[in-house]
Structure formats: structure tokens, C-alpha cells
Structure 1
Amino acid sequence: MRRHLTISAAALAATLALGTLTACGSDSSTSGSGGKVKIMVGGLDKVIYLPAMLTQKLGYFKDEGVEVELLTEPAGVQATTSLVSGDVQGVVGFYDHTLDLQVKGKQVESVVQFSHASGEVEVVSNKAAATITSPKDFKGKKLGVTGLGSSTDFLTKYLAVNDGVQTEQFTPVAVGAGQTFISALQQGSIDGGMTTDPTVAQILDKKLGKVLIDMRTPEGSKAALGGPYPSSSLYMNTDWVNSNKETVQKLANAFVKTLKWMSTHSPEEIAAKMPADYAQGGKDLYARAIKSTLPMFTTDGVMPADGPETVERVLKAFNPNLQNATVDLSKTFTTEFAEKAAG
């Protein structure tokens, strides 16, 4: 039986404490109906989820007349739990959770698709770099993921299985992102792992590891996963979407406006709009991290053609819950709001 390792209790507590941090000081008890909309982000400071805070900073939510409270969790799987429990009305996280939830009887859909590539990077420590040259070498290794059941966990399992390594032959280790990931790599708690910018940029800058698989561009994502891989998105419970279409349209308008803004501004200009503490490695390094990840973003918020099929194929390669299940992909996303916003 495979053992799941975790970071130390102290480190985990510190990471989870970040989940209580809000991006604006408003009352989190307010309901999404007729009040503010609460959106949980699977890591507000991750570049892959940058449109969430950037939209707030650009004032586009306010321009649309919708009050948005942004909250953060260290891993997307925890953000999803908040949505299912009704604590928030939306999640900025990976689209793949909509498929996973559907087979569990929960109807959730992406309403704005931020990306057409995964944005993830598999890195290996300098010590393990000689023995891990491809996913076929994952056997017997300890590999960091943000959380068990997270999208980084999903993708790591796919890369392994696709290269002949079964999921029980390696050990996923829940290490979060940012400093907890970096510490685990430094201390040898993991041999490598999957993470995103700005963590990747800091690892390379500190010369703590090397890039094994880069999925920050559509080309890199397609090479690793076999097609376009829609990842970061705004997804919501379908029932809530259908009951609050006016509000959802306002959110889509704001996010699509941000995606367009991002496509016409430099990484330095984008970095300047973000909170100063997001640039933990310094402003220049943060701007480079944004530059590396920018290719993953869409400009219109619309689900890329064939993207859902790629995600389904990836998940079915290793996930027993999906392997024998029929997924109605048409119910995992909608382009109604993004197309209207982009039009």
C-alpha cells in the first residue's frame, strides 16, 4: 500500500493559515445571493491564477457593479471543497475538477476559461537530476504535489502512467507551493515535484533544481499531455449559475476584460499591478515568472476546442472513478458568458 507523506504539522498549519487570508477586508458571512460573491482561489499568489487578483486591482469587478471577495487556499482541491460545501459561490482553479466532481454526482461548470495550457512544471532536485530524466524514472521516488487529489496530483499520476510507471510505484507528497515546496526540495523530503510560477522561478534562481517537464506554453503542454489542456478557470455550481446569470455575466465581463488587458501589456506592467508581497524573489524575478507563464492564458475566456477531450483522456488514464464512467463534457463548461463578454 502506497504511503502518502505530508509536510510537518507546523509547516502545514502555516500553509493552511493562509486560507483564512482575504484579498479585501469584507464580511465573509455575506451570502452570494444579492450580496458579494465569494470566490476561493487555489493560491492567490500563483501566476496561473493571476487574473483573479489582477481583475480586482484593475477595478473591473467594481466597474461591473459586482462586489467580489477573494479568498485563498493552498491547493485547488481544498478550494473545490469550499465550493461543494456552499462556503463560496465560485472557485478559480483547474477545470479538471469539474469532471471529477461530475462522476461524484456534483454538477459544476467552468464559466470563464483562463488558460489553454496547464501552466505546471515538473522540477527535480539537483541531487535527483541524474536519476530522474523522464517520468519513467518516477518509480520509487517521492514527488511533491500541492495536495492529494489536487490537479498537480492528477497530472503527476498521468505523466507516470503514460510512461509506464503505476501510481502505486511512487509516493506523492503534499507540500503545497511557494516556500513549503522549496523547503521540501532543499531538505530532500521530495526528489522533485510539480509546481508553478513564481515557485519555479525561485527554484531556478536559487539553483535548487532543474526543469524536467515544462507545460507553461500550449506547445509544452501539448507535448506532455497530447493536446490543449484547459486548466485555470472560474468554475461554479451549475444550479447557482442558472439562478444568477446576470451576476455571472458581470464576472465574465470583468475577467475577459482582464485577459485582454494582459495580452496587451508587458510582464513588468502586469507585475506592477499585483500586491508587492507576491514578488518574494524580487520584482525582476517576479516579472520573469509572469513572462514564462503568460503563454498559457487565453485572450477571450472561451474553452479551447478539443480541450475537454484532452482533460478527460488524461484523467481516465489513471483515475479509477472516471475510467468506467461516462462523462457529459458539455455539462462541465459553458461558453455562453465568455462569448458574450468577448463579443
Structure 2
Amino acid sequence: MDRRSLLLSGLSLAGLPLARPALAQTRPLQKVRIAVSTTVLNVGYPMLTLPLTLGYWKEEGYDVELMPVGASLQSIQQMVGGNAEFGEVNASVIVQANAKNDLPVRIAMGNGVIDWSVGVNADGPITSAKDLKGKTIGVFSLATGGIAYLNSYLRSNGLDPAKDVEMIPLGLGAPPVEALRSGRVQGLLYWASAIASFENAGLKLRKLVGDDWRQYPDYTLAVMQGTAEKNPDMVVGIARGMAKATVYALANPDCARQLHWDRYPATKPSGADAATLARWDLNTQQAQLDSLKDAFALNGGKLWGNADPAAYDRLVRFMLETKQIDKPVTAASMMVRIPDYFEKINRFDTATVQAAAAACKS
């Protein structure tokens, strides 16, 4: 499994998006499909689920279907095959698609940063990367994307990943939790929402993170170049709905959780009292909100969803160094080519969205 502000809200621009809902009602909603790189759309995807709950995409004129498809590669395949207009994917897969397969997959929106960590027992003796020497680390699979970052982290601390650390695949759910509790492994290398789920299961964790990890972009909205050229307004509208949802969720996380439970009751956790269940899902959701906030800062701190080419170029260099790709590709060549694109995404009244969140209005 892959996991996965200063807004242009001046009076001269604020009126533009407000006219769109009326326009949208005069024509049938256009069907749009987003392939999401996960198997379950739980509370940890507010930028994707909230636009449906809050009607943001309908206001833009679109009837959106979210399609959980598994890994990022599957999302790319769905777009290439014409089964989805967008994919929410790991940024590294976009780079690989362009560098290795010459596929015109384009970056439409930056949503997250690399949020992996090595979770170890909070009261145990492991406090730094050097303490991982001779230890066994559990991972989702031996092909999981975080391993490249861990190997770089170990090398920078004088360890040889091939000799000094053993990794074993554990998947998700109970096996990683039990492996750490039993001592079968001494660390768990997983993305933030997975680590949060382990904490919800009762683990008390210290998190080891490379200094540079959160300086790389990760979760990204992708679109094929042909789709963007054919319907640029659709790309703007979908991204704007996600930007508004991000602002809403950050303004009132508990409301975002409750709205998710109301619309997707099957994803609500069980096995505890209501207050505990809410605390668990807030912890899971916060992992994503932290990544959204860090991505906003990483990409300039002015426009929601902005994808800074410099950040993606850093990722390309890292992937070259770690031999995930064998030729460079420029971030500029991977960006959606729509004039004033990120400014258009941010043409909405932030204060109105935040006020609605404060009142928990859907």
C-alpha cells in the first residue's frame, strides 16, 4: 500500500467563484473520477472526502466519484487507461512515470510531504538512528517506498542498511503492533496515518525521522496532460474543491471527523466508547492534516495546493541518488500548464470557509 496562507481572496477576485454555483445549476453535472491510492477512504483523506460532503465539487459543476484502487501505480494505470480523470498518488510515482516510462502524468496539486517515521518503544533504549544497528524493523512490504528514505537515513548516520539492519514485511493492522510488543521487531517503518493507527491500538511510540524527510513532497493530485489540455476548467475546479476542503478541515478537525462519520458510517472505528473512538480518528486524521500543513509551507506558504518545482526537483535528485530512476526529469516539465493555475485554485473566500467550519455547517 502506498499511501498512501495567504490566499488570493481580495474583493476583485472573491466574486468570481461565487458565480459558479449558479452556472453549475444550469447544466448537468460533469462526471469526474478520482483514483485514490488506498484501499479504504477513512477519516485520513479530508481533502478528498469533504468536497463531496460539503458540496464543493457540485458547486464547481462536477459529479465526482472517489475510487480507492490500492497503490499509486494502480491509480496511474487507471488514468492511462481512461478509467479516471485524476489520481491521488505518491509524488515519487509521478516522477517514475515520467522518467522511466515517458508517460505525460502531470502534477495538478501538492497535498502532502513525506511523513514516514520509524516508530520505536517510547520508553526503550532506541533514541537515534545509530541505535538501530543490529535491530529488526517491520515494514509494510519489502517494496514499500519508505525503505529508500530509511536507507539514506542509516547511511548518513554511519550504518550499512544491507548489513546493520534487518527488515521484515508485516502488512497492516494487528501484525505490526504484536511484532513490536513481542520484541520480534524493534521498530516499525510506516507512514504517519499507519503509525497513528498503531498508537490507537495502544503502542506508545518514539518516532525517528530523517532531518530531510518532510522536505520532500509526497501525496499529489495527478492528471494526464491530455486531460488538462482538453478541460483546464475541470482541473481548476477539482483542485479548488480540495483546497477549500483543506482549509475547512484545518479550521475544525473535529467537525471534519464528524462529517466523515455521518457520510461514511462504515469507516467509523468500533470496539470502544464514543469518546475513545473520536480520539482515535482525530489522531489518524491529524497525521494527514500535519502533512497538508507542511506541504503548504514547503510549497511557498501562500497558495493552497501550490506545487513548488524546487521541492519536486529535490525529490528527483533523491530518486536519482537512490537509483529509483536512472535519468533526470525536470519538475517544470511535469507541472500542469494552465495560466495562473494555482492562483485560480485559490480564488475563494477563505474567511467564509473558516466560518462555516467553525459553525460545523455542511
Q: TM-score, normalised by structure 1?
A: 0.72
Distance in 2 of aligned mates of 1:79 and 1:238: 15
- The question of whether the paired residues in 1 share the 8 Å contact of 2:46 and 2:246 is answered with no
**What is the deviation of 1:331?**
2.0
| 1:109 partner SS | strand
Deviation string for 1:318-338 (max 9, x for gaps)?
A: 2x243x522222123338443
Distance in 2 of aligned mates of 1:168 and 1:64: 51
Distance in 2 of aligned mates of 1:230 and 1:163: 23
Does residue 192 (structure 1) correspond to residue 187 (structure 2)? The answer is yes
| 1:234 partner SS | strand
Distance in 1 of aligned mates of 2:42 and 2:176: 13
Sort the Cα spacing of 1:198 and 1:136 in 2 relative to 1 into closer, same or farther, 3 A.
same
**Amino acid across the alignment from 2:321:** A
Distance in 1 of aligned mates of 2:57 and 2:279: 28
| 1:330 partner SS | helix
Sort the Cα spacing of 1:53 and 1:199 in 2 relative to 1 into closer, same or farther, 3 A.
same
Does residue 93 (structure 1) correspond to residue 89 (structure 2)? The answer is yes
Sort the Cα spacing of 1:150 and 1:61 in 2 relative to 1 into closer, same or farther, 3 A.
farther
Does residue 108 (structure 1) correspond to residue 108 (structure 2)? The answer is no
Deviation string for 1:170-205 (max 9, x for gaps)?
A: 454444444454355456664422334543234234
- The question of whether the paired residues in 2 share the 8 Å contact of 1:41 and 1:49 is answered with no
Distance in 1 of aligned mates of 2:150 and 2:39: 19
Q: Which runs of 5+ in 2 are unaligned?
A: 3-29, 270-275, 297-302, 348-362
- The question of whether the paired residues in 2 share the 8 Å contact of 1:177 and 1:195 is answered with no
The aligned counterpart of 1:271 is 257
Q: What is the 5 A alignment of 1:139-218?
A: 139=133, 141-169=135-163, 170-179=165-174, 181-186=176-181, 190-213=185-208
The aligned counterpart of 1:314 is 318
Q: TM-score, normalised by structure 2?
A: 0.69
Sort the Cα spacing of 1:312 and 1:257 in 2 relative to 1 into closer, same or farther, 3 A.
same
**What is the deviation of 1:123?**
0.9
The aligned counterpart of 1:217 is none
- The question of whether the paired residues in 2 share the 8 Å contact of 1:44 and 1:53 is answered with no
The aligned counterpart of 1:294 is 289
| 1:230 partner SS | coil
**What is the deviation of 1:58?**
2.0
**What is the deviation of 1:342?**
0.6
| 1:231 partner SS | coil
**What is the deviation of 1:110?**
1.7
**Amino acid across the alignment from 1:338:** F
Moved over 6 A (4+): none
The aligned counterpart of 2:244 is 257
Moved more, 148-157 or 179-188: 179-188
Does residue 328 (structure 1) correspond to residue 303 (structure 2)? The answer is no
Deviation string for 1:253-281 (max 9, x for gaps)?
A: 21122122223x22211211213454536
The aligned counterpart of 1:248 is 235
Aligned residues: 298
Does residue 62 (structure 1) correspond to residue 66 (structure 2)? The answer is no
Sort the Cα spacing of 1:248 and 1:184 in 2 relative to 1 into closer, same or farther, 3 A.
farther
Compute the RMSD of aligned alpha carbons.
Answer: 3.4
Q: Which runs of 5+ in 1 are unaligned?
A: 1-14, 17-33, 215-222
- The question of whether the paired residues in 1 share the 8 Å contact of 2:107 and 2:221 is answered with yes
